[in-house]
Amino acid sequence: IQAIIKQVSTLNTNSRYIHPNGVLLAKRLLSTLPPPLTKVFYVNSGSEANDLALRLARAYSNSKNCIFVDCAYHGHTLSTLEVSPYKFDHSKEYGAGRVTSMQEQPNGYKTPGKHLYKVPCPDTYRGLNKSHSDVEKEEGKEHDYAYYVEEGCRYFVEEKNEKVGAFIIEGGMSVGGVILPPQSYLKRCAKAIRAAGGLYIADEVQTGFGRLGSCFWAFQYNGSDVVPDIVTVGKPFGNGLPLAAVITTKEVSDAFESMGVEYFNTFGGNPVSCAAGLAVLDEIEKKGLQHHALITGQYLISRFEDLKQSLPIIGDVRGCGLFVGLDLIKNNTTLEPATKECSFLCSILKEKYAVLTSIDGPFNNVLVIKPPMCFSKTDVDTFVSAFEAAVVNDLSKADLGNVSKTPT
């Protein structure tokens, strides 16, 4: 707060006038990322960042073909909506008779254009290749979600004789139900995309800046050493102020510059927002918030794993650090989603216990836990106790007949 107050009382202006804060923040941001990510574009939101990332990929590859994951959400601009099944699968904007109608892919999925290709979400609990299914445990089949991305590349290259422009994926898929990619998934996907002429875009808008604890960026989860061609950041970057960015390589930046139209964003990277960004990075470093997220998250997950033994509504506890999801179920064999129960619990936790959570997942049955990075073990105990009380004392007596989805 003090950093913001100091800067706003001194000067705030549009980004046509260069200010040291923007340069200092770019250097600090790049120090957290591996080479050859050396170029920073400032924007105001995650949607803007992903929109620009797609534009950069198109300039580099000369292709608008894009592969993306089912249940993904990348923003609310026209280009990001097209790669966000979380939105377009449920929107009348893309219905029959509309200007943009849905097109069927060879794999059966439908998307808002022939240049778009959707692949299954790499959900190892209840997805196509769920790990606990004996049917799917053939050699090479379990967790083989990268195959679908490779198949998409073959479709564009071999069947359509076209290049792929980009593969975009969230490092941690929140609206997909707190999904973290299986081991080697990103490496195989990036290899296939690049061989098809495209770029790997890592959307870190929700899960970047140390939230997973084990890594600073979610694309590094599971020890992944693949480096994206483009990284987008947002939400926590300005801690409430409008600040987001696109980070890429010189090669991609040069390709974009060669298009002949300069990039300008009036308030992207303004002095006040950049002051906030610098303060955020200071706080993460000085207070050890990444390590704190790891330790607190391990405790949080262990508490819910213990609670799972006595509360059968908890089907799966997943995530890392302070990015955790509880997949709530009605039946441990069929994994029938406990959708109404989840909505009820989310509401009662807020109204009765003063605990805020959110709901995500394709069946709206995943209770999502993404607390502030300062969340403590004492806070974990308070939350777990409240959840247990809500299930045992409140849900057991609730009439779920009129329960609708709780908006979060």
Per-residue confidence (pLDDT) for residue 138, from 0 to 100 = 44
Evaluate whether 332 touches 316 at the Cβ level (below 8 Å).
Answer: no
Q: What is the DSSP letter of 182?
A: P
Interatomic CA distance for residues 329 and 336, integer angstroms: 5
What is each CA distance from 292 to 38, 69, 212, 223, 240, in whole angstroms? 28, 30, 10, 19, 21
Q: In this predicted model, what pLDDT tens digit does every residue of 100-112 receive, in sequence order?
A: 788 999 999 999 9
pLDDT at residue 142, rounded to an integer:
43
* pLDDT reported for residue 406: 79
What token pair was written down for 153?
A: 């590349």
What's the pLDDT score for residue 195? 98
Q: What pLDDT is recorded for position 131?
A: 57
Model pLDDT, residue 140: 47
Which residues lie closer than 8 Å to 221 by C-beta, 6 or more apart?
Answer: 171, 172, 180, 181, 212, 214, 215, 320
pLDDT one digit per residue (tens) for the chain, 408 residues: 899 999 889 988 888 888 999 999 999 999 999 999 999 999 999 999 999 999 999 999 999 999 999 999 999 999 999 999 999 999 888 876 787 788 999 999 999 999 999 999 999 999 887 754 444 444 444 458 999 999 999 999 999 999 999 999 999 999 999 999 998 999 999 999 999 999 999 999 999 999 999 999 999 999 989 999 999 999 999 999 999 999 999 999 999 999 999 899 999 999 999 999 999 999 999 999 999 999 999 999 999 999 999 999 999 999 999 999 999 999 999 999 999 999 999 999 999 999 999 999 999 999 999 999 999 999 999 999 999 999 999 999 999 988 887 777
